[in-house]
Amino acid sequence: SELEPSILIGGWATFVRVGGEISLDIDLITSQQSRHKLEQMMTDLSPSNNHQGRKLRATFDDVHLDIYLPFESQLGSKLRLKVEVLAEYPDELSFEKWTLLRLEAHIGTKMAALLDRHYSEKGQKDAREILALLKLEGVDPVIAAEVLDRASTLDILNLPTMIGEAFDLIGAILPLSKADQKIVAAAKKSWVAELQLRGVGPQQSRPR
């Protein structure tokens, strides 16, 4: 309970929505308040500094936690999603006492992971998760483009190519049925188109 109000991301957040494979790690975006509680609670809380800023790693009851901090952590070395912006997109759906991200934001986090580790076993799992999530009702490309544009530190002009690449990786990694190929192609087309629209929109209305 000391972990809320935290947002559950990663494999567990996918599992809540679509079932499938259990994740061994729990990934959380936490608030500054929760962070102080965590620091008192956990014995082996260690900051892990990498090119995406700071995150905390901890083990709690034999469960491995990766804890991402507002204004300190970004997800993905390529997509670089600011966790404090992602946290502005909570879903009505929750799990236990944890909030989940809106579907579009959650898919974005999975794409950030896929782009970084697509050649690995975890990358294959990312691709399977993204495919399963894209099949859910109500994935809105307009919201997806807004979240990616606002959260990524990349310039909006570079995002369509990067997201197109993430969609292409799904088919490169997984053997897709004809139906799945269509789902991925349609999503790619709509997400990329919406990102391109944001790129040509009135720049002055979106301070970066």
Q: What pLDDT is stored for residue 1 in this prediction?
A: 47
As a whole number of angstroms, the distance between CA 77 and CA 50 comes to 9
Q: What pLDDT is stored for residue 112 in this prediction?
A: 98
Q: What pLDDT is stored for residue 52 in this prediction?
A: 67
As a whole number of angstroms, the distance between CA 192 and CA 37 comes to 41
Domains within the chain, CATH numbers bracketed: 7-205 (3.30.460)
As a whole number of angstroms, the distance between CA 83 and CA 200 comes to 25
Q: What pLDDT is stored for residue 24 in this prediction?
A: 83
Q: What pLDDT is stored for residue 143 in this prediction?
A: 98
Other C-beta atoms closer than 10 Å to the C-beta of 199 total 16
Report whether 14 contacts 105 (CB < 8 A).
no
The model's pTM: 0.90
As a whole number of angstroms, the distance between CA 130 and CA 104 comes to 10
What one-character DSSP code corresponds to residue 127?
Answer: H
Mean pLDDT, the chain cut into blocks of 10 residues (208 residues total): 76 95 89 75 66 77 88 94 96 90 98 96 96 97 98 97 99 98 99 97 56
Contacts of 185 (CB under 8 A, 6+ apart): 167
- For tokens 């690995």, the residue is 120
